[in-house]
């Protein structure tokens, strides 16, 4: 029956990804079947921690996050948890020998969300690393399947891809972060007086991240390459749409990619994959 518990736990992580992000879950389905569930397991863990700091407003978030953190490392150490999300996560961490320092950095960023409302450059870089870059590195452990040389080779690109995704999310969600959560992630940016110069500076930084990330995608193992490429193209399309928007628009509307555009991205990526020109 232990095998059944593993299956049920991992199904919980998969459901979490599918309910919270149709875009990411769609990209995950394009990975080789061996890699889909481990990535679902990472996503489920990250999503639950994020929910604690972003939505559990009527509860003591600090206590809940600390409990979740303690339970996470206990699960990894004991190789068991009655929490299905943590059970599936520890299976992945232990199977792929994911460096636990990445998990510590992730929790450090989540803890910053409990109190920080504005970030200087140093804190911003620390937050991006812990909230996004380490997630890219966790996924890279899975993609490389124990090939440490390949992991080290692709490490900078994986960090840049995670950073690009997170920064695009920040721009897309400016209204919710600034108005609802009282957060300003981008350093030296005043969203009460947000202008084109500020927006251009942020976008130049994101463009550099995308450029470095793309350079690493072609080097990914075949099992992972197509799914990662589709996620990259989706976020790049979202970023291009954000770049066309006026600064004021980001403070009133949440920029989205319609479903038909997402389908076109997958179709075009599939054609480029068949032609081996990713």
Inter-residue contact 89 to 13 (CB < 8 Å) = yes
Is 217 in contact with 225 (CB distance < 8 Å)?
Answer: yes
pLDDT at 189: 85
196 and 247 Cβ atoms separated by less than 8 Å: yes
Confirm if 141 and 98 have CB atoms less than 8 A apart.
Answer: yes
Task: Output the pLDDT for position 267.
Answer: 62
Domain spans, the chain: 2-274
User: Token pair for residue 188?
Assistant: 């030296």
Phi/psi at 246 (5° precision): -70, 150
* Sign of the CA dihedral running 199, 111, 76, 15: negative
Q: pLDDT tens digit string along 3-28? A: 899 999 999 999 999 999 887 888 89
Average pLDDT over residues 204-218: 95
Q: How far is residue 266's CA from residue 227's CA, in Å, rounded to a whole number?
A: 9
pLDDT digits (tens, 9 = 90+) for 62-101: 999 999 999 999 999 999 999 999 999 999 999 999 999 9
Q: Which CATH superfamily is domain 2-274 in?
A: Farnesyl Diphosphate Synthase (1.10.600.10)
**Two structure tokens written together for 181:** 């959560």
| CB-based contact 203:195 (threshold 8 Å) | no
Tokens of 185: 């992630």
pLDDT at 181 exceeding the cut of 80: no
Distance between CA 116 and CA 186 in Å, rounded? 12
Predicted model pTM? 0.92
177 pLDDT more than 80: no
């Amino acid at each position: 029956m232990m095998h059944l518990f593993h299956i049920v736990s991992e199904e919980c992580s998969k459901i979490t990804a599918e309910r919270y992000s149709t875009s990411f879950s769609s990209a995950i389905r394009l990975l080789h079947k061996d890699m889909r569930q481990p990535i679902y397991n990472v996503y489920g863990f990250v999503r639950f921690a994020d929910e604690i700091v972003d939505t559990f407003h009527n509860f003591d978030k600090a206590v809940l996050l600390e409990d979740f953190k303690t339970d996470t490392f206990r699960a990894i150490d004991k190789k068991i948890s009655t929490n299905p999300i943590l059970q599936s996560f520890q299976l992945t961490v232990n199977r792929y020998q994911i460096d636990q320092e990445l998990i510590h950095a992730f929790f450090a960023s989540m803890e910053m969300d409990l109190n920080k409302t504005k970030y200087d450059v140093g804190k911003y870089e620390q937050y991006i690393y812990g909230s996004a870059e380490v997630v890219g590195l966790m996924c890279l452990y899975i993609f490389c399947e124990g090939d440490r040389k390949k992991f080290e080779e692709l490490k900078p690109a994986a960090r840049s891809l995670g950073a690009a995704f997170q920064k695009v999310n920040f721009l897309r969600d400016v209204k919710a972060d600034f108005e609802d959560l009282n957060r300003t992630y981008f350093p030296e940016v005043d969203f009460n007086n947000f202008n084109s110069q500020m927006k251009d500076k942020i976008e130049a930084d994101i463009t550099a991240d995308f450029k470095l990330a793309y350079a690493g995608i072609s080097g990914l193992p075949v099992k992972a390459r197509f799914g990662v490429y589709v996620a990259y193209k989706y976020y790049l399309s979202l970023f291009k749409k954000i770049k066309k928007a006026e600064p004021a628009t980001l403070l009133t509307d949440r920029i989205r990619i319609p479903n038909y555009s997402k389908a076109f991205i997958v179709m075009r990526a599939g054609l480029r994959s068949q032609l081996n020109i990713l």
